[in-house]
């Protein structure tokens, strides 16, 4: 199939192009589109066959449910039942925006869309192109991240083209996304509500609205753990992994630079293509020829925004061995380290002690497992 590309400026939305893309969705086809977090791979959430096409295009296991994207509050009541007061309070504060809520699903949502679960994930994105597309489609839009299953999520149209060209009807190119990591997922079907995936909306922000918020312990553990049973099925798959061997090196900056410089020298002497992922503040400390600046520590937002593009570059440039600094910290640090640790298969070196370890994250800090 030939994939159409519609280039749309989010500041001056061309409604003819939105209409053309929305018609594809209404006819059961797939359209990738920008959201404020990452690009989504959209299909009609109320059409079981469209959901099946999404799983096929991504190569995604069909037990891994999709997020239903809506553009108004009336939609919430059509796809979810027993909607608690807390959902309205969270919507008031964070929608439209990067928060996904898990609620009991209504009978109208096909079980193909929810991977067979009796609950449904719902999100009202804030990206103007996403909102116009949903409205024009006359339906609700099921959309996982628009990457091939297992690759980093797409943060620009070129990433989507790499993974989806020829596999879907259309791609809306709306430029680089703002946030760069997926939405926070909160389960409201349990008491207290529980974070299933960390994202831009932090636990602290949720606690401004809710009295109590738990964190699914499974998102902090390694996915090889026998007891790993996350409530968000997607969190059990090894995501975002570059083809090269990625290791995170943490500790005081001087020790981190010394360890990484020694290890990259060793890898290069074996003829391996070697890369370093570093913050702007410390990038000049590395001798390796392939140093990729991911953002600056003074702006966690900049690190989140570039994370997946940098991970994709590791594959594009066929890097064999990759060392990254750690970006643990408050706020967005938890979401960044959740994704980076998964990409590294939880391989971490403590540069201060020289210990190689597998770690968990706790409160945004990497923490050695005993």
Note the residues at the interface with ligand TXA (CB under 6 A).
35, 37-38, 40, 64-67, 98, 100, 102, 114, 117, 119-121, 123, 125, 143-145, 182-183, 185, 196, 231-235
Q: State in angstroms the smallest separation of the CB of 145 from Mg ion.
A: 3
| C-beta nearest to ligand TXA: residue | 234
Strands 119-123 and 99-105: antiparallel
Please check whether residue 40 is in contact with residue 19, taking contact to mean a CB–CB distance below 8 angstroms. no
Q: State in angstroms the smallest separation of the CB of 32 from Mg ion.
A: 13
What CA–CA distance (Å, rounded) separates 233 from 223? 11
Nearer to ligand TXA, 219 or 288 (CB): 219
Nearer to Mg ion, 54 or 349 (CB): 54
Q: State in angstroms the smallest separation of the CB of 149 from ligand TXA.
A: 9
Q: Which of 34, 32, 62 is nearest to 237 (CA)?
A: 62
Query: In the Cβ-directed half-sphere of 276, how many Cα atoms lie within 13 Å?
Result: 27
| C-beta nearest to Mg ion: residue | 145
Site residues for Mg ion, 131-150, by CB under 5 A, read 145
Q: Which of 137, 25, 134, 143 is nearest to 72 (CA)?
A: 134
Q: State in angstroms the smallest separation of the CB of 326 from ligand TXA.
A: 23
Nearer to ligand TXA, 183 or 326 (CB): 183
DSSP class per residue in 224-235: T-TT---SSGGG
Label residue 23 exposed, middle or buried (CB < 10 Å: 0-12, 13-18, 19+): middle
Q: State in angstroms the smallest separation of the CB of 37 from ligand TXA.
A: 3
290 contact choice in ligand TXA, Mg ion, none (CB below 5 to 8 Å, kind-dependent): none
Q: Which of 120, 1, 109, 130 is nearest to 50 (CA)?
A: 109
Strand, helix or coil at 163? helix
102 contact choice in Mg ion, ligand TXA, none (CB below 5 to 8 Å, kind-dependent): ligand TXA
What CA–CA distance (Å, rounded) separates 189 from 119? 8
- Tell me how many residues contact Mg ion (CB under 5 A): 1
120 contact choice in Mg ion, ligand TXA, none (CB below 5 to 8 Å, kind-dependent): ligand TXA
Nearer to ligand TXA, 171 or 256 (CB): 171
Q: Count other Cβ atoms within 10 Å, centred on residue 143.
A: 28
Residue 35 interacts with Mg ion (CB under 5 A): yes or no: no
Q: State in angstroms the smallest separation of the CB of 361 from Mg ion.
A: 19
Give contact residues for Mg ion (rule: CB under 5 A): 145
């Amino acid at each position: 199939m030939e994939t159409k590309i519609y280039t749309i400026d989010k500041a001056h939305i061309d409604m003819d192009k939105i209409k053309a893309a929305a018609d594809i969705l209404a006819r059961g086809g797939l359209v990738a589109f920008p959201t404020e977090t990452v690009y989504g791979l959209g299909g009609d959430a109320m059409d079981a066959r469209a959901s099946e096409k999404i799983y096929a295009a991504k190569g995604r296991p069909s037990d891994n449910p999709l997020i239903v994207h809506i553009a108004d509050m009336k939609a919430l009541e059509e796809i979810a039942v027993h909607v608690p007061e807390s959902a309205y309070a969270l919507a008031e504060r964070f929608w439209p925006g990067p928060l996904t809520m898990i609620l009991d699903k209504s009978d109208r949502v096909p079980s193909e869309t929810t991977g067979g679960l009796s609950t449904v994930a719902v999100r009202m994105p804030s990206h103007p192109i996403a909102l116009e597309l949903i409205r024009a489609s006359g339906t609700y839009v099921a959309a996982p991240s628009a990457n091939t299953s297992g690759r980093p999520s797409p943060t620009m149209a070129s990433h989507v083209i790499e993974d989806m060209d020829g596999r879907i009807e259309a791609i809306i190119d709306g430029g680089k996304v703002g946030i760069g990591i997926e939405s926070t997922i909160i389960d409201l079907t349990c008491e207290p509500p529980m974070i299933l995936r960390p994202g831009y909306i932090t636990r602290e922000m949720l606690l401004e609205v809710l009295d109590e918020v738990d964190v699914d312990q499974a998102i902090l553990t390694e996915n090889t753990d026998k007891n790993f049973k996350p409530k968000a099925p997607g969190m059990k798959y090894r995501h975002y992994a570059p083809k090269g061997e990625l290791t995170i090196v943490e500790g005081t900056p001087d020790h981190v630079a010394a360890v990484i410089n020694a290890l990259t020298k060793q890898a290069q002497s074996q003829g391996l293509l070697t890369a370093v992922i570093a913050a702007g503040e410390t990038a000049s400390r590395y001798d390796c020829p392939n140093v990729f600046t991911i953002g600056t520590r003074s702006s966690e937002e900049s690190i989140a925004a570039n994370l997946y593009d940098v991970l994709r570059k590791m594959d594009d440039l066929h890097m064999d061995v990759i060392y990254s600094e750690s970006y643990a910290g408050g706020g967005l640090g938890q979401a960044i380290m959740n994704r980076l640790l998964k990409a590294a298969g939880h391989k971490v070196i403590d540069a201060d002690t020289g210990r190689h370890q597998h770690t968990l994250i706790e409160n945004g800090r990497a923490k050695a497992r005993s």
